[in-house]
Amino acid sequence: MSRPDLLLAFDDEARPAGALAAQLGVPWALVQRHRFPDGELRLRLPPQLPPRIVILRGLHQPNEKLVELLIAAPAARELGAREITLVCPYLAYMRQDIAFHPGEAVSQRHVAGLIARSVDALVTVDPHLHRIASLDEVMPGCRACALSASTALGDWVARHVDRPLLLGPDEESAQWVSEAAREHRLDHAVCHKQRLGDHEVQVSLPEVNLRGRAVVLIDDVASTGRTLVEACQACLASGAASVDVAVTHALFVGTALEALHAAGARQVWSTDSVPHVTNAVPLASLLALAVRDL
Ligand code: R5P
């Protein structure tokens, strides 16, 4: 996108919106939200919008925010926007990328399709792409740019942990772990995970000597935190000297973060793709570069 004219954001993302607008060198404005007693939403946008806008909307608490986005984007067009780039640091519904059981909706395809019909371009970070190679496969007609925070996380870890061993909790995390390890040539490996239910996973460690090592668990998403809890406990039981955690998307539902510390995790770091107390690695400059390059 040539330089956008305006960034639109929502009040719960005012801090990252300010940071992104500063990086882009554009003004920003808030979409005002009113929630009616029955739960319906009324959105109010600036009444006249310039032609090229960026909408910042992360999709943690996905159902509510998807509806906001699906109302805000067409409303923005009615108010003058001709080209809309969505910056969605956390793109929800990406994990259901296959019908695991007969009849299951492949949410990834349908949610991505809805978004593709609403905006012209998308910038996101570490979408959970496991069985598809690129977002283009599920977002026809929308220019999609999937960034990775792995290098930034690896850089953060290298500056804060002496001779770390990066460990992914499952095979899917190999893509993020190897990327995080690359620049500083950090030791790395991945575990094997079996998910038995929403809150139940089993993690088996790779054949790597963890005794005395400073392990850093790297993953894209922490949701219930069970994956990280299991991996953390297994590492400590195998003699790891310490276990820290670095994730891109800090969903950490309920008491997940407390459980992770109770399991023995020392430091827990995340990017600011999802506003959370563990945020340590800001993404604004990466996102702004991608918006300009689209
Ligand atoms: C799944 O494959 C992801 O990479 C994460 O490992 C997973 O979503 C974490 O979920 P939870 O925190 O609920 O174990």
Low-confidence ranges of the chain (pLDDT < 70): 1
Ligand 1 center to 200 CA (angstroms): 11
129 lines ligand 1 (CB under 6 A): no
Give the ligand 1 atom nearest the CA of 128: 4
Residues 177-210: pLDDT tens digits? 999 999 999 999 999 999 999 999 999 999 999 9
186 lines ligand 1 (CB under 6 A): no
- The confidence score (pLDDT) of residue 1 equals 66
Catalytic, 65? Answer no
| Long-range CB contacts (within 8 A, 24+) of 155-159 | 155/183, 155/184, 156/246, 156/269, 156/280, 156/281, 157/186, 157/216, 157/218, 157/244, 157/246, 157/269, 158/183, 158/184, 158/186
221 lines ligand 1 (CB under 6 A): yes
- If we measure between CA atoms, which residue out of 250, 175, 240, 178 comes closest to residue 209? 240
- If we measure between CA atoms, which residue out of 116, 163, 157 comes closest to residue 138? 116
Q: Name the residue at shortest CA distance from atom 5 of ligand 1.
A: 221
Q: Name the residue at shortest CA distance from atom 9 of ligand 1.
A: 222
Q: Name the residue at shortest CA distance from atom 3 of ligand 1.
A: 221
- If we measure between CA atoms, which residue out of 285, 278, 267 comes closest to residue 221? 278
- The confidence score (pLDDT) of residue 3 equals 85
- If we measure between CA atoms, which residue out of 128, 177, 124 comes closest to residue 154? 177
Quick one: angle between helices 284-293 and 14-24, nearest 10?
50
On whether the pTM is more than 0.85, the answer is yes
- The confidence score (pLDDT) of residue 231 equals 98
Ligand 1 center to 81 CA (angstroms): 37
Give the ligand 1 atom nearest the CA of 198: 13
